[in-house]
Amino acid sequence: MNAWYLCEQNNTDPSTSYAEKTEQILDFLCKRDVSEGPDEMSFSICIHALARSNQSQRAEEILRRKEEFVKKHSDVEIVSTDYNHIISSW
């Protein structure tokens, strides 16, 4: 996921969205067994990549998913940078 995020940082082609690749990986991880599911960083990388690619609404949707995930999994927490990236994107 981090590799796609780093690609998005340098992306100058609006027809290519590496951020969407991070979202696809996150979706895959969410469908897996809880012990192999996404961690805090997986959500954050996806949020940051989408926010960076000017997909504010999608980034916010991932944040809402993370908030629901946190309610069920105490080992994952929300960090302030998740909110900051979305606010900056909007």
**d(Cα 3, Cα 1) in Å, to the nearest integer?**
5
What pLDDT score was predicted for residue 7?
65
| Tens-place pLDDT, residues 48-88 | 889 888 889 999 999 999 998 888 887 888 888 989 988 98
Q: What pLDDT digit, counting tens, does each position of 41-50 carry?
A: 888 989 988 9
Is residue 89 very low, low, confident or very high in pLDDT (cuts 50, 70, 90)? Answer: confident
**What's the pTM?**
0.78
**Cβ contacts of residue 4 below 8 Å, gap of 6+?**
18, 19, 21, 22, 25, 49
